[in-house]
Chains A and B, each alone.
Chain A
């Protein structure tokens, strides 16, 4: 190798490069009050889901027929229900099944949707048209109604719940990923990969996928909120989580009949819990979206 006549680019570059502030997603999020509130609330429910039984002052399943329909007091902060179970403990423990089913179902939908979206967006043409028909057909299915039918026929278990919601989310995520891939595949690095002799799967998963991660992440958090809502709805309708598990929707469905009698606490606290969880997830997804758009 001959000696080069121009010095290697001076050290100014590296500094200039690093100074060119790499605004990390996390750093952006840490400054967003919306995200912090959402994260704190979500973290609270995650702790409840994991340590619920130890935190709860009473066993949520133990009935006390001596003390039914008690209003909130110092011994039962949220009162007791028709079977004399401690509402506070049931709210704390009631998050557990939702917290397991919703993320798994959303993850399933995201993985399937990402694969289908990558394939549709990368290959386009006939592949896109064919898969597109299926995606559109699935998009037309209403989530709760389809879930109701599927769970009634396939059996009521958490596994079926995860699969049903995951599959119904797949086309939604596929659509988002496809749109992002269509933009990405026009960039020159994809051409460069083809000139290198890379095959389709490598280009899709190694080259393109990391670059469409942001919309996938946003879609995941949006879907997570919907999944929580769908699970609670299906449970309320009786095909989701099954008794005797402590569950918010189960409690609402079991006790809403006695609200007119004045026993509001048996439903209200579970309802408030649902609101806080869904709002928290929505806040997180909104702030992730806003931060990504800023960058």
Chain B
């Protein structure tokens, strides 16, 4: 073995390298059970100095594999089988161990999705941040000072206090900031963010994204942002690469690419996303039919050919190269010029709306629902005096940050969590027992749920046939031939083929599993279905299909939905009425137009402005800032619970007196001391300022 010292180090070249990261014709291969699977094929891109580059793609597209390959963190059975990866002009794969360590130490940092797992739970945060500086060669005391400064840079208001705490004592957003502080501590030239904000609430996500943008300017760091969320990419990145099936389908400047896509896949993907002006009554979301290819499945031709509406014979025989699509853009499509003419899979306009919002009969009402949890000596107020009703045929959207009580409210309605004494639940005018076990079959079958995670919601040991048949017999009262017939119609209603019946959930894709879960909820002809984040575990294109299905079922079966989601775009698309929850209290309740349009509660205002969307030119407008963390429900603020973060904070009255949830206009209630007219004035000012850009 030749010693590394003798070998010429592939190190700094004479001229300063142009690119922070350069991938050239990279193939990444995994060896799985004796077979080579090419998971990333022929990917080339470069990230310039201080440039921000986004990689988007659905699950399995190879985006995280690329991120791992860049720092040589591929699993043992994976390798870069072709091409070159260069960081600062140095070939990552010809570095020896020592140089590789130095590269990871000084030049590249990564931030992953789960900040909690990036930190050691047994060590105080301070010593973990300081360690980064110690490794860089600072003395212990000095390292701690630097750590404190760094935490201040990531806008942690009490850095000394945070340093003395353990990771589990900090919130997700705070932890992610700590991780970013550690990542930037050595002033790296490249920072890789792999779904770094996916697990965070919208308001926290917005803050972290802004922080990264600001720090990037300060540190002149190049960014590689990996996300499934196109809006995040739009907000953060100068240029974007769209990955599909391990290949780069399209690349170009972010704004141009997202508003004028030149590849059928990008066109289809963008059509799947609910936009600001699309609601269920005027627009059906488009979907991408079929399923992504598994690695190595497509041997010849375009990887997207099987799902593409513009497919021609040529696409199946000839691998499309990356065509130059003008103004720094490239597209891997033989027909990129006509990509926008991709035919729609579903008709854009659905049938007539079922019932006008707020006009159907009241199906379920909850009055004065409170729920107090007692945990380790602490009293946590999960819900405080919540009253609302769900009417026939409508969708009531429940929004709020995590910990706001959305799921608790749903569980109380379903009878899975018993509310505190004094709550009244009614279904169609009759009293609803608080415990699901004490409800009649009619009451039980009227109220069903589609859970967030189908892996948890479907018993993995039972076949699809068994899962659905049991619900049909227990809830629908079917048996024998009637059951078989109903099972068939149920399957066709959720568009599942008969051949899935003998399979177990583990053999189905995420979207199919969620269809089974929806079928189960509809087995007893429910009146209300609670949808608890039904699409948040799914890819964008699958999400669109599921939302269309829910919409379609609602129109046909006249069912009402209680729709819980943290994705405001999805709630906006589906909901007729909206309830905004904060720390277990309803802050605002009204029809969708009333809640989304000004005047609305300052919290709703802040929530809406926090969400990155594709519609506002990448979110360059000024955001209404929500300061600080969500307070603990064990120790909520006095007066108005939102006063600690309120952008329109008035003064003592907010601190001392809790405002009532007052009906300010017909069907629209707001819990705020500021009168509606004043809110209207304040928020219209904001809008006219916002309209300027």
Q: Which residues of A are at the interface with B, using a C-beta cutoff of 8 A?
A: 1-2, 4-10, 12-14, 16-20, 22, 187-189, 191-192, 194-198, 207, 210-211
Contacts and interface: CB of A to CB of B under 8 A. Distances in A.
Contact of A188 (B294, B447, B451): B451
B436 A207 contact: no
Interface in B155-203: none
Contacts of B460: 211
Nearest to A211: B461
Given A9-B495, A211-B460, A194 B291 contact: no
Contacts of B556: 2
A10 B437 contact: no
Given A6-B287, A196-B471, A188 B456 contact: yes
A207 B291 contact: no
Contacts of B449: 191-192, 195
Contact of A1 (B439, B448, B452, B489): B489
Interface in B12-63: none
A6 B459 contact: no
A186 to B, nearest CB: 9
B507 A18 contact: yes
B10 interface: no
A189 B456 contact: yes
B692 to A, nearest CB: 42
B448 A188 contact: no
Given A188-B456, A197-B436, A210-B462, 20 more contacts: A1-B493, A4-B492, A4-B495, A5-B346, A5-B347, A7-B289, A8-B495, A9-B497, A9-B512, A13-B509, A17-B508, A17-B509, A20-B506, A191-B416, A192-B449, A194-B437, A195-B447, A196-B444, A197-B437, A210-B461
B291 A192 contact: no
A81 B566 CA distance: 79
B479 to A, nearest CB: 15
B496 interface: yes
B624 interface: no
Nearest to A20: B507
B249 to A, nearest CB: 19
A188 to B, nearest CB: 4
A195 B507 contact: no
Contacts of B545: 6
B624 to A, nearest CB: 35
B69 to A, nearest CB: 23
Contacts of B289: 6-7, 10
Interface residues of B, number: 55
Contacts of A16: 291, 294, 509
A211 B291 contact: no
Interface of B: 287, 289-291, 294, 306, 345-347, 414-416, 436-437, 439, 441, 444, 447-449, 451-453, 456-462, 470-471, 474-475, 489, 492-493, 495-497, 499-500, 503, 506-509, 511-512, 515, 520, 545, 548, 552, 556
Contacts of A13: 291, 500, 508-509, 512
A1 B449 CA distance: 23
A211 B507 contact: no
Contact of A8 (B346, B451, B497): B497
Contacts of B552: 4
A224 B683 CA distance: 73
Given A5-B347, A14-B499, A196 B475 contact: yes
B290 to A, nearest CB: 5
Instruction: With a 10 A CB-CB cut-off, give which of A6, A12, A188, A197 has the most chain B CB atoms.
Output: A188
A211 B507 CA distance: 16
A20 B552 CA distance: 30
Contacts of B444: 195-197
A192 B457 contact: yes
A177 to B, nearest CB: 16
A10 B496 CA distance: 9
Contacts of A210: 459, 461-462
Contacts of B520: 192
Nearest to B291: A12
A20 B297 CA distance: 13
A20 B507 CA distance: 7
A17 B515 CA distance: 15
A192 B474 contact: no
30 contacts: A1-B493, A4-B492, A4-B495, A6-B289, A8-B495, A10-B290, A10-B291, A12-B306, A13-B509, A14-B500, A17-B512, A20-B506, A20-B507, A187-B456, A188-B453, A188-B457, A189-B459, A191-B449, A191-B451, A192-B457, A195-B414, A195-B444, A195-B447, A195-B449, A196-B471, A197-B436, A197-B437, A207-B462, A210-B462, A211-B460
A210 B466 CA distance: 14
A6 B500 contact: no
Nearest to B417: A191
Nearest to A12: B291
B340 to A, nearest CB: 22
B451 A196 contact: no
Given A6-B545, A210-B461, A195 B416 contact: yes
Contact of A22 (B448, B451, B461, B507): B507
